[in-house]
A and B are shown apart, each in its own frame.
Chain A
Amino acid sequence: MISSYIGYYSLILGFILSIILLIYSIFCFKKNNKKINQNIFSILFLQFFTVVLSFISLIYSFIVSDFTNETVYNNSHTTKPLFYKITGTWGNHEGSLLLWLLVLTLFIFLFIIFSKKQPTKYRLLSVFFQQIIICGFFLFLLSTSNPFNLLFPAPKEGLGLNPILQDPALAIHPPILYLGYVGSSIIFSASLASLIQNNINSKWAKHIKKWIQTAWFFLTIGILLGSIWAYYELGWGGFWFWDPVENVSLMPWLCLTALLHTIIVLEKRQLLKSWTLILSIATFTLSMSGTFLVRSGILNSVHTFANDPARGVFILLFLFFLIILSLILFFIYQEKEATPQKKFFLVSKETSILVNNWFMMYFLSVVLIGTTYPIFLEVMVDEKISIGPPFFNKLLIPFLTFFLIFMSLGPKLNWIKDNYKNIKYSRIGLFLICILISFYLIKNTSTEILFTSILGGAALYLLLTTIREFLVNKHNISQTISHFGFSLFVLSILLNSLFSSEISANMKIGQEVIYKKEQIKFLSLETHKKENYKSVIANFEIIDKKKNSIYLYPEIRIYNQPNILTSEADIKSTIFFDKFLVINLLKGEEIFNVRYQTKQFMIWIWISTCLISIGGILGIFKRL
């Protein structure tokens, strides 16, 4: 009860501070002081503190199961383990928005500390723009999604958290993803500030690059965690479904990746200023629309757990406001081309980065239209269509092949101007050999052999090129690791999708099935009782060709509050394959549907994504 009051009023205080900051930063801006007024630091810190306080009070309400708080009542239960009581704080709409706000205030506070070398006016303006966003989120939270609504009389017991959210990976997935999303807000604010101050130059690029890399790193890891969770929790062995909610997290990632490359051109050659700005604005807009699309419930998706259409309207209006504001600023302040444009040469690093952006924007447009088109079609002509993996595969994979080839050539080129002759014939030979290798690896598995072997060959080629780069040329390790990771990523997805196999059978205890020379024995069944669920654990023995046996323990959980049945897969990972087994209850108590899958190179998908993001984090610490 008390904690709800504390939380609520500190939110209001934070909102007031936000308005004060809006006015005060403009006031300081007009005064032309050399240094930033200390008060700005103090108020920013105070604001961060109010949100932290508010967040802690919400966590506290969850821990003590204070059901006078409506959010707690809707999403918690006394029998839930403490860990999930805490993580349940951001497993719902109100709490997750409070987390958004927390990260927003944290980032601007860090930004102002770490930008001391930048011009004062630029920093003040960044604070101003970030406060506009923060102000909007405060308003959103207080008016439509207050986490501290009180219930009277207090209910005895809460409604509980959706069991599939009660999971360690999903506990940290939202905070990490938000660090990425919200990180893009700083890039947005800083770009607008820089635009007005006419400050877009290589010094600025160098400074904002660290923030781009930070946001990008968290976004990558955030998406990875979501995929890993989907892999073992949703229980059908896939890790990416081209589901709308996944797509909305991929869109800012694609845009940010483009920005990550463009900013280097700006840093090294002072080119592509407007394009950098557009990408910064677009990245944040996509992050915001992501939140809008997920939270409004427009999307038909497995992941939409908490949503409310009325709230969508607010985010949508706010989004339009921000877009229009940035567009107006863009057209007013866009630098008139006084100096003659520097030239781009066909064979040069900057052109290869342009090519990267070209493909990134194409991938983005495919994901964007694939995600939003069904919504428009339904609204306009009232027809429902589904857009799934076949659509994305058709439009993405052919282009991915070329992208991989450019990726192996581009980084080797020099700035300004390079020569065709530096591309040696031996490389073409190597490329053909790669295609041949991949062809022989996969010739018996695919139906579209030509496409697949060229794609595999291109990925293999990139892999070899980056390994060579790593050995010969050590000056750009972060890039080499990321690119190596990407080639490994494409290869492992390809091999995974081609070689994975599965069998589905209905089995009783004691029965066995033989599949591809493997014996699958259903040995026994045990029942356990936990605090918030009843669990049925099966024991399977898998005996392979060489008579080695492994045991798998898939589980069915019957949660008490809410009353939901979930299947927990059991997975044994090795470096070559995952053995994945999941059971489902069929009618009656005795027969189970058993799905046994061998997923080749699964672990390499996770490892390669980690490598991609490690490249990003190395970039941050390079020459700090």
Chain B
Amino acid sequence: MRIIKIILLIFFLILSFQKLLIANDNSMIIDKISKNLRCLICQGQSVYDSQSDFALSMKLLIKNKIENGESEDQIYDYLKNQYGEWIVYDPEFDKKNLILWAFPLLLFIFGGILIYKKVFIN
């Protein structure tokens, strides 16, 4: 009985997934991108949050680019070329940021090993 329930659950999950992948419109993508951009003339605000001239023109730029059919990555690349990496809040995963991404994960693994040792080897 339980197994049937679980299978039903999974089935429902997959079914609803199909619907979801379609539901995505432009304004959502614009918001998503602008949340990820630093407003360069403000202090610690994203383009999405700011109402400065810079932010407003930036939102317009993103809108135009999306309507021209450019992808998210293309827009980011364009902006990084124009303003440098400083503009995106999402740091790239590359050689210079290796420590940034790897440090917490390594620490997590290390912690896991310590706990494992404490529990199983004694």
Residue of A238, A373, A391, A447 near B49 (CB, 8 A) is: A238
Which residue of the partner chain B has the closest CB to A366?
A: B104
Listed in ascending order, the chain A residues whose CB lies under 8 Å from chain B are: 236-238, 241, 243, 300-302, 341, 343-346, 351, 354-355, 358, 361-362, 365-366, 369-370, 373, 377, 381, 383-391, 394-395, 399, 425, 429, 432, 436, 439-440, 443-444, 447, 449-450, 504, 584, 593, 595
Minimum CB–CB distance for A319 against chain B, Å: 21
How distant is the Cα of A355 from the Cα of B119 in the complex, in angstroms?
11
Question: Does B26 belong to the interface (CB within 8 Å)?
Answer: no
Tell me whether B43 and A344 are in contact (CB under 8 A). Answer: no
- A447 neighbours in B (Cβ, 8 Å): 24, 28, 32
Chain B 95-107 interface mask (CB, 8 Å, partner A; 1/0): 0110111011101
24 A-B residue pairs with Cβ-Cβ distance under 8 Å, sorted by A, are: A241-B44, A358-B112, A358-B115, A362-B111, A373-B99, A377-B97, A383-B96, A385-B85, A385-B97, A386-B38, A389-B35, A389-B36, A390-B36, A391-B100, A395-B101, A395-B105, A425-B2, A439-B16, A443-B20, A444-B20, A444-B23, A447-B32, A450-B17, A593-B51
A449-B9 contact in complex given A361-B107, A369-B104, C-beta closer than 8 Å: no
Question: Does B4 belong to the interface (CB within 8 Å)?
Answer: no
Residue of A388, A432, A436, A449 near B38 (CB, 8 A) is: A388
Q: For residues 73 through 122 of chain B, which have their beta carbon under 8 Å from a beta carbon of chain A?
A: 84-92, 96-97, 99-101, 103-105, 107-108, 111-112, 115, 118-120, 122
Tell me whether A236 and B45 are in contact (CB under 8 A). Answer: yes
How distant is the Cα of A237 from the Cα of B13 in the complex, in angstroms?
33
How distant is the Cα of A399 from the Cα of B111 in the complex, in angstroms?
14
Which residue of the partner chain B has the closest CB to A390?
A: B90
How distant is the Cα of A377 from the Cα of B97 in the complex, in angstroms?
9
A449-B99 contact in complex given A346-B119, A354-B115, C-beta closer than 8 Å: no
Minimum CB–CB distance for A286 against chain B, Å: 15
Which residue of the partner chain B has the closest CB to A372?
A: B100
How distant is the Cα of A440 from the Cα of B9 in the complex, in angstroms?
12
Residue of B101, B107, B122 near A341 (CB, 8 A) is: B122
- B32 neighbours in A (Cβ, 8 Å): 447
Minimum CB–CB distance for A237 against chain B, Å: 8
- B104 neighbours in A (Cβ, 8 Å): 362, 365-366, 369, 395
A388-B46 contact in complex given A351-B115, A362-B111, A443-B16, C-beta closer than 8 Å: yes
Tell me whether A595 and B51 are in contact (CB under 8 A). Answer: yes
Which residue of the partner chain A has the closest CB to B101?
A: A395
Tell me whether A386 and B115 are in contact (CB under 8 A). Answer: no
How distant is the Cα of A439 from the Cα of B12 in the complex, in angstroms?
10
Chain B 1-43 interface mask (CB, 8 Å, partner A; 1/0): 0100110010011001101100110001000100110100001
Q: Of B6, B32, B101, B111, which is in contact with the most chain A CB atoms at under 10 Å from its CB?
A: B111
How distant is the Cα of A399 from the Cα of B84 in the complex, in angstroms?
31
Tell me whether B107 and A362 are in contact (CB under 8 A). Answer: yes
A369-B100 contact in complex given A388-B46, A388-B89, C-beta closer than 8 Å: yes
How distant is the Cα of A3 from the Cα of B55 in the complex, in angstroms?
48
Minimum CB–CB distance for A390 against chain B, Å: 4
Tell me whether B43 and A301 are in contact (CB under 8 A). Answer: yes
Tell me whether B17 and A300 are in contact (CB under 8 A). Answer: no
Residue of B43, B49, B91 near A387 (CB, 8 A) is: B91
Residue of B19, B91, B105, B118 near A354 (CB, 8 A) is: B118
Residue of A302, A362, A395, A595 near B43 (CB, 8 A) is: A302
- A377 neighbours in B (Cβ, 8 Å): 96-97
- A366 neighbours in B (Cβ, 8 Å): 104
- B38 neighbours in A (Cβ, 8 Å): 386, 388
- B17 neighbours in A (Cβ, 8 Å): 449-450
Tell me whether A386 and B86 are in contact (CB under 8 A). Answer: yes
How distant is the Cα of A300 from the Cα of B90 in the complex, in angstroms?
16
Tell me whether A358 and B108 are in contact (CB under 8 A). Answer: yes
Which residue of the partner chain A has the closest CB to B107?
A: A365
